[in-house]
């Protein structure tokens, strides 16, 4: 064959290869934007991003954006059931895939996997779908929620039982007990049961201020901007009371805990650190409502007195929110 023909063929193949590479890179790295007012379009596009992420095992900004967009859809007052019905089968298929992955035997044996990036992305996507499911009334949806209710992950259990409640379905006592036992979900469960008018379902052994304060601190520590995961261990140190001055609603209680952070490989830190939850008005206890001064400077136990720690917390809180009534308590 003439050499010129080979050059032509090579040029054509090279051109197609470059175009394919550009298409791939654009799809992988382009910014994704979602218009939450276009509910059907947002759901379709966001599900497409999550499906590709699971297929390609990608963990990037687009995946998080897609889950956030779907959660915003759930909060949209214009959301109707028929906006989600066309996508119900896709959502179920994606959830079953995530459910199978999250049920891995590694859950109990591989702490680095359980508290690592791969698991956290899958967990976040699964929670998003559980929230969406509360808007769909199908037997397959109920079955998926009941399956999630039996998982060993308290966050997944909580969002499954909340959606079942909102669909008017019965929730297993075990799921309620598990989510109350977990400090990460305890306050969420209590607030949810109060909201739907079923506080009697909440286990009485956790109906005390220490349990609520522990849950508030664990939720704070689990936030992505802090530890990003619940501590390996946590224990009560002391309750420090501060009288309000001038007298008004009464004394305020700060709950001081010691905790062992969980490292990125899932193993506990070797040294105990201090954290504070509250403060709470004594007259309101037990309550999940605090002044939102919950914080940790991650001081080692014994490196600072409890009184000095509370003083630092109060100063930080006052500087942050400028609450005069809290400024007066010290």
Pair (57, 135) in one structural domain: yes
49 and 191 inside one domain: yes
Let me know whether 194 and 302 are in one domain.
no
Domain assignment present for residue 288? The answer is yes
Contact between residue 213 and residue 254 where contact means Cβ atoms under 8 Å apart: no
157 falls within a domain: yes
With beta carbons less than 8 A apart as the criterion, state whether 132 and 74 touch. Answer: yes
Instruction: Give the pLDDT of the chain (330 residues) as one tens digit per residue.
Output: 555 665 555 556 556 555 554 444 445 444 556 676 788 888 999 999 999 888 877 777 888 889 999 999 888 888 888 889 999 999 999 999 999 888 876 776 788 888 888 888 899 999 999 999 999 988 899 999 999 988 889 999 999 999 999 999 999 899 999 999 999 999 999 999 999 999 999 999 999 999 999 999 999 999 988 998 999 999 999 999 988 655 666 789 999 999 999 988 888 989 999 999 999 999 899 999 998 899 999 999 999 999 999 999 888 876 655 444 444 444
Please report the pLDDT score of residue 181 as a whole number. Answer: 96
Asked whether residue 86 is assigned to any structural domain, the reply reads yes
> Token digits for 235?
């224990």
Residue 9 has what pLDDT? Answer: 56
Parent domain of 197: 31-205
Task: Examine residue 126 and state whether it is found in any structural domain, yes or no.
Answer: yes
The answer to whether residue 111 sits within a structural domain is yes
Whether residue 89 is contained in a domain is answered as yes
pLDDT value for 264: 80
26 inside domain: no
Domain identity same for 137 and 218: no
pLDDT of residue 276: 97
Select from 125, 117, 174 the least CA-distant residue to 151: 174
Domain boundary among 205, 239, 271: 205
Q: Considering 188, 205, 222, which residue would you say is the last residue of a domain?
A: 205
Start-to-end CA distance of the chain, whole Å, equals 92
Q: Look up tokens 């999550």; give the residue.
A: 50
Clarify whether residues 71 and 38 are in a common domain: yes
Q: Are residues 159 and 249 in the same domain?
A: no
Q: Do residues 289 and 313 share a domain?
A: yes
Token pair 């995530």 is found at 98
Q: 239 and 189 in one domain?
A: no
The last residue of a domain, from among 161, 181, 205? 205
* 173 and 226 housed in the same domain: no
pLDDT of residue 326: 45
Residues 196 and 311 placed together within one structural domain of the fold? no
- According to the model, what pLDDT value does residue 18 have? 54
Q: How many domains does the chain have?
A: 2
Residues 182 and 244 in one domain: no
Look at residue 23 and tell me if it is in a domain: no
- The secondary structure of 263-317, three-state, reads CCCCCECCCCEEEEEEEEEHHHCCCCCCCCCCECCCCECCCCCHHHHHHHHHHHH
What is the C-alpha to C-alpha distance for residues 293 and 320, in angstroms, rounded to an integer? 9
The answer on 162 and 302 residing in a single domain is no
């Amino acid at each position: 064959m003439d050499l010129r023909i080979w050059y032509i063929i090579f040029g054509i193949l090279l051109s197609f290869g470059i175009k394919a590479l550009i298409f791939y890179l654009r799809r992988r790295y382009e910014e994704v934007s979602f218009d939450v007012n276009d509910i059907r379009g947002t759901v379709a596009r966001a599900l497409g991003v999550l499906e590709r992420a699971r297929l390609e095992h990608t963990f990037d900004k687009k995946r998080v954006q897609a889950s956030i967009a779907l959660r915003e859809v759930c909060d949209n007052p214009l959301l109707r059931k028929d906006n989600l019905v066309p996508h119900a089968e896709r959502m179920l298929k994606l959830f079953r895939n995530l459910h199978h992955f999250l049920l891995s035997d590694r859950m109990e044996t591989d702490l680095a996997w359980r508290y690592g990036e791969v698991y956290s992305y899958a967990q976040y996507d699964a929670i998003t779908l559980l929230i969406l499911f509360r808007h769909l009334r199908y037997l397959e949806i109920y079955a998926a929620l009941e399956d999630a209710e039996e998982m060993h992950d308290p966050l997944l259990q909580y969002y499954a039982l909340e959606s079942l409640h909102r669909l008017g379905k019965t929730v297993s006592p075990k799921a309620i007990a598990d989510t109350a036992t977990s400090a990460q979900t305890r306050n969420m469960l209590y607030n949810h049961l109060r909201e739907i008018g079923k506080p009697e379902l909440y286990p009485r052994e956790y109906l005390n201020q220490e349990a609520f304060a522990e849950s508030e601190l664990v939720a704070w520590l689990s936030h992505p901007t802090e530890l990003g995961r619940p501590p390996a261990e946590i224990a009560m140190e002391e309750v420090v009371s501060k009288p309000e001055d001038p007298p008004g609603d009464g004394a305020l209680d700060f709950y001081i805990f010691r905790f062992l952070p969980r490292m990125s490989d899932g193993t506990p830190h070797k040294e105990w650190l201090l954290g504070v939850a509250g403060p709470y008005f004594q007259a309101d206890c037990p309550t999940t409502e605090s002044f939102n001064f919950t914080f940790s400077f991650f001081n080692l136990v014994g490196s600072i007195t409890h009184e000095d720690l509370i003083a630092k917390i109060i100063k930080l809180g006052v500087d942050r929110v400028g609450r005069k009534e809290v400024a007066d308590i010290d």
